[in-house]
Structure 1
Amino acid sequence: MKSIFEESSYNELKSRISNLNENSEAAWGKMNVGQMVWHCQGPLNIILQKTDYGMKPSWVAKLFFKKSLYNDKPWRKGLPTAKFLKTNDDKNFDTEREQLVALMDEAYSHREKAEWEPHPAFGYFTAQQWGQMQYKHLDHHLKQFGV
């Protein structure tokens, strides 16, 4: 599984994001491209401890969903989105894309970090799992928008 902490994968994601534009359309789901790049900031905000979105530890999440966050199996199209990562508001695509790339850059700058704080809902992840999880989420949504 690729990781946002691997230089080639990190650069690949940034290149794919640069191929998005304000007219990019989703192949599935309800988000427009501005909402998607805003949404993709959420997991990066969590890993960087900028916010925990009010999440609480969940044994159900740990037992049934945790491994799917970082394994090689692609997520199916149309998975439900956590309420705190949803928006119906119009988002400025250029502003949100800049913020997403800045958060990716910040996360990548910590690529040598051996230990991370636990996820507020899922608990502990290894550094490798954190990196894979970030890659998998971004890859899922970039595929959603055809890049």
Structure 2
Amino acid sequence: MYFNVRVYGLLINEHREILLSDEQVQGYRFIKFPGGGVEFGEGLIEALKREFVEECNTEVEVLSHFYTTDFYVKSAFNDSQIISVYYLVKPVGNLNFVTKTDLFDFEGKGDSLQSFRWKKLDELQPEDVTFRTDQYVVELLKTAK
């Protein structure tokens, strides 16, 4: 058993929509917030900025900490315990990624696919994301209005 530290960005645009990431990895489809794993030797904010550049080709500024997992979560992919840290972020400059309107609207083929969608915060529901921690963050977002 080991810990798997993840970091995610909550990017909300001027229309009060939040960015969601539709992904498919090894045939498994899921919806989450943009972000991913913290690499050894990296700080949380450094990792989040790297993930946004890698996934979204967009630099972000971290505005504030939003939530850190405070209950046990087992990884869906291995035997690790997931610790997720969420930050509110804003883009530095232009958004350099394409957004879609349909679920899992991937371009290309491969083992790892990703597309992005905006979802209105007022319409966001826990079932709109796959993982338990993200679902909890949705509940927190709805009460933070």
TM normalised by structure 2 equals 0.27
TM normalised by structure 1 equals 0.27
The structure whose residues are more often helix, as a share, is 1
The structure whose residues are more often strand, as a share, is 2
Q: Give the number of the structure with larger relative contact order, counting CA–CA contacts within 8 Å between residues 6 or more apart.
A: 1
